[in-house]
Structure 1
Amino acid sequence: MEFINYIRNFLYSGGDVLWIILGVAICLWCLIIERLIFFKQNYPALRSSCLDRWDQRNDKTSAYALFIRQELISKALIQMNHNVSVIKVLIALCPLLGLLGTVTGMIDVFDVMAVTGTGTARAMAAGVSKATIPTMAGMVIAIAGLYFSKLIEERVSDESHHLADLLKYH
């Protein structure tokens, strides 16, 4: 329970933009986990389906057979790349939202300075905190997301090349 209070206080100290970053982060991680589960559970069935369809063919040397092979690889590639572009967009969005949080936090700092007429550190502390926390959160989420995005892209590339090797074209 104390952990939830800590998270809630953290979100409130970062301002409204941090809540948006949280929503983007939840969407991002749901999509990343979905892709990882796809490769663990669904892709083996997809690969065996492609191999079965290719093995049932008698003709594996004609130009028509080459087109069928390319179609099988392309359909598998489309399914493997599902939501990868959305993941990339969400990763790119996180630092931008962090920057938005910085700007809104600095506006709060300037509002405090305008009201008090001085630049006292105590009066500006809440605005500075509100400015730095979203930036940090956006960068942390983007950096972690980049790692998993690259991992997924490499898996797509490896599996598509492996599938192309398995679908032998004589």
Structure 2
Amino acid sequence: MTDLFALWLRVTDSAYALLDFMSAGGVVMWALAGLCVVFWTLVLERFWFMRKVFPVWVDERRKAWQQLLQDDSGTWQRAVRSAWLAQARQHLVGPLRLSKTLVAMYPLLGLLGTVSGMVAVFDVLAMSGTGNPRGMAAGVWQATLPTMAGMVLAITGLFSLARLERNARQAIERLADQLRHD
């Protein structure tokens, strides 16, 4: 029972530390957190789609392709193959556009946090001059956190998008190999 209580204390301490971190960064940190949740939901959906839904779609096209090859051979089969490959590309790569936009927004929001933090520093300077280093430090802290968070989110987003694009390209190449006209 004491282990469970100790775990609960660690979790609540971590939650309070996270809330303090988010509050120190200002409103921009909460916007970054919201976009982060949206982005990773989209990324996980794409991984799920590539693992569960797309293979079923490919299997249906492969079976239909075999049927087309048995029924009749003609030049129109190339058009069907091209259309299916275009559909596959649209299914796999099309939804990544929103994720790319979110990754591009992370550093911009970080810069917005920098500007708002610097405005806080200038407010302290206007009110109390240079005699309040604590107030200035709080503004600098508020300016640095969103920038750092935006950069970290953008870097991790770029890596995950690169992996998704590589997986999509490989899946399309495999489909193209399966739909060969010998």
Q: TM-score, normalised by structure 1?
A: 0.95
Match of 2:77 in 1: 65
Are the equivalent residues in 2 in contact too, given 1:59–1:65 (CA < 8 A)?
Answer: no
Match of 1:134 in 2: 146
Identify which of 8, 29, 39 aligns with 1:18: 29
Matched, 1:5 2:16: yes
Change in Cα spacing, 1:83 to 1:69, as seen in structure 2 (3 Å) is same
1:103-131, CA deviations, whole angstroms, 9 ceiling, x for partnerless residues?
A: 00000000000000225422201101100
CA drift of 1:61 comes to: 4.4
The RMSD of aligned alpha carbons is: 1.3
Match of 1:54 in 2: 65
Change in Cα spacing, 1:80 to 1:60, as seen in structure 2 (3 Å) is farther
Which protein has the bigger helix share? 2
Match of 2:166 in 1: 154
CA drift of 1:53 comes to: 1.2
How many residues are matched? 170
Q: Distance in 2 between matches of 1:119 and 1:87?
A: 45
Q: What percent identity do the matched residue pairs reach? A: 37
Unaligned runs of 5+ in 2: 1-11
Q: TM-score, normalised by structure 2?
A: 0.89
Match of 2:98 in 1: 86
Change in Cα spacing, 1:13 to 1:104, as seen in structure 2 (3 Å) is same
Q: Which runs of 4+ in 1 moved over 4 A?
A: none
Are the equivalent residues in 1 in contact too, given 2:124–2:132 (CA < 8 A)?
Answer: no
Q: Distance in 1 between matches of 2:152 and 2:95?
A: 21
Unaligned runs of 5+ in 1: none
